[in-house]
């Protein structure tokens, strides 16, 4: 069993500190939580999104994501988030954190966030098991205060976008909720918690990932991205959640070149990152949002079932997804990471891997360079040989979508791929056997 001493991220004011849990002078248990003692007759705004269908052969959610006018969901997130900031619910003012673009080809972004690691208790964190059972005795999102919740996010019953400013919280049907992250990395930093009362552990499934894509599409803002960290890849709370925030600049990973290696019959293109310190896959397109969600979630489920830690970045209004298996925490537990890197206290999760380096020491911020960022992220990446093995597992898992070699692939690359390919039985009845590229 591999464990490392680490400092957990505090995402709620109700997480346990050394002196116990915070209390508030309200009814129920005194904490205004989401449990039965406090939730009776509670209400919260409800944003009901439209489940998009094909329109003339193209999913409406997959239209171009440019510089849109302010969308309603966009303004709802920011309006509710700023209201919580005015109420003093955040642990520090993230807008006061110094930020700069590091000179270099990729434009890594450095932020000095000294408040993010203060007043937290060190805990033992297991890093060698991606799937771990939900433990109601540990902090989970049913323990947050209702004042930290922003709104409910659900699909519409009648197929149209709807907004209800004061809707009951239907505990029996376990709504998906959006809450603030009280230790924000950037402006508008929120948490999307799918089916909160089902108390799901931190693992992606098809329904939850489609929900995250819908949120990206509904926001309609290219500066709004969602991220996911698995256990073993610096998730600190074992209750299913995605993170999201606004950053008015391209992430370096979004600018990295890619090479297309396969395409599904549903139009989902799969590419490999090139010339980037962390090896990963990029998923784009699809005839519908659900097509993209199905293939990416199948890949995530494959990694989970094979105990491979990973991070996910959802970009471009839900049309582009980066899947990044990683091994930094494992190396750290085994004592294989240089002490100089460990001294930075940077835990490279989805945001750091994407190129937004959240630094905790002024020294590291002042000395930030592209070489230093590259050096840290190179430790995150799987080796080339291990990455090929992981890709083989992923492509076998999504073989039911009949992936095909991209037409522009050279004859030599096709022959090499065929020599390494293996037949894989389709995972759904009625789908023919297909060739899976490693």
Q: Which residues belong to the active site? A: 241
Nearest to 311 by CA among 359, 260, 355, 368: 355
Residue 194 Ramachandran class (φ > 0 left, ψ -120 to 50 alpha, else beta): beta
Pairing of strands 177-180, 190-193: antiparallel
Taking the C-alpha atoms of residue 290 and residue 116, their distance in angstroms, rounded to an integer, is 36
Question: Which residue carries 């972004």 as its tokens?
Answer: 109
- Look at residue 268 and give its three-state secondary structure: strand
**DSSP3 helix / strand / coil % (the chain, rounded to 5):** 30, 25, 45
Question: Which residue carries 């992220």 as its tokens?
Answer: 377
Cβ(161)–Cβ(195) below 8 Å:
no
Contacts of 369 (CB under 8 A, 6+ apart): 102, 103, 104
Cβ(202)–Cβ(238) below 8 Å:
yes
Q: Which two tokens stand for residue 26?
A: 């309200």
Q: Which two tokens stand for residue 4?
A: 């490392």
């Amino acid at each position: 069993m591999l464990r490392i001493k680490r400092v957990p991220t505090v995402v709620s004011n109700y997480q346990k500190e050394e002196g116990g849990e915070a209390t508030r002078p309200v009814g129920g248990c005194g904490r205004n939580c989401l449990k039965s003692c406090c939730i009776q007759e509670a209400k919260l705004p409800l944003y009901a999104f439209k489940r998009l269908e094909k329109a003339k052969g193209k999913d409406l959610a997959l239209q171009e994501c440019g510089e849109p006018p302010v969308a309603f969901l966009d303004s709802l997130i920011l309006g509710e988030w700023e209201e919580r900031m005015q109420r003093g619910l955040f642990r520090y003012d993230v807008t006061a954190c110094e930020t700069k673009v590091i000179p270099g080809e990729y434009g890594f972004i450095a932020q000095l966030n000294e408040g993010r690691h203060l007043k937290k208790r060190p805990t033992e964190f297991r890093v060698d098991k991606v799937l771990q059972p939900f433990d109601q005795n540990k902090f989970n999102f049913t323990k947050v205060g209702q004042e930290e919740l922003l709104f409910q996010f659900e699909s519409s019953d009648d197929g149209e976008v709807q907004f209800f400013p004061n809707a009951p919280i239907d505990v029996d049907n376990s709504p998906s909720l959006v809450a603030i992250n009280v230790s924000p990395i950037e402006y508008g930093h929120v948490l999307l918690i799918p089916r909160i009362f089902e108390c799901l552990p931190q693992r992606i499934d098809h329904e939850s990932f489609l929900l995250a894509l819908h949120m990206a599409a509904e926001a309609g803002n290219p500066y709004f991205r969602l991220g996911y960290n698995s256990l073993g890849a610096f998730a600190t709370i074992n209750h299913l959640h995605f993170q999201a925030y606004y950053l008015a600049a391209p992430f370096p990973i979004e600018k990295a070149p890619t090479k297309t290696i396969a395409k599904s019959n549903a139009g989902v293109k799969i590419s490999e990152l090139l010339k980037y310190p962390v090896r990963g896959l990029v998923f784009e397109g699809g005839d519908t949002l659900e097509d993209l969600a199905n293939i990416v979630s199948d890949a995530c489920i494959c990694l989970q079932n094979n105990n491979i830690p990973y991070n996910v970045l959802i970009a471009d209004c839900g049309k582009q997804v980066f899947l990044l298996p990683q091994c930094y925490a494992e190396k750290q537990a085994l004592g294989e990471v240089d002490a100089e890197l460990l001294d930075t206290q940077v835990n490279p999760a989805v945001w750091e891997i994407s190129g937004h380096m959240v630094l905790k020491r002024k020294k590291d911020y002042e000395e930030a360079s592209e070489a230093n960022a590259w050096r840290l992220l190179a430790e995150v990446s799987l080796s080339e040989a291990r990455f090929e093995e992981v890709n083989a597992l992923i492509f076998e898992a999504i073989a039911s979508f009949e992936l095909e070699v991209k037409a522009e692939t050279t004859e030599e690359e096709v022959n090499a791929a065929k020599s390494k390919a293996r037949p894989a039985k389709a995972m759904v009845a009625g789908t023919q056997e297909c060739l899976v590229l490693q």
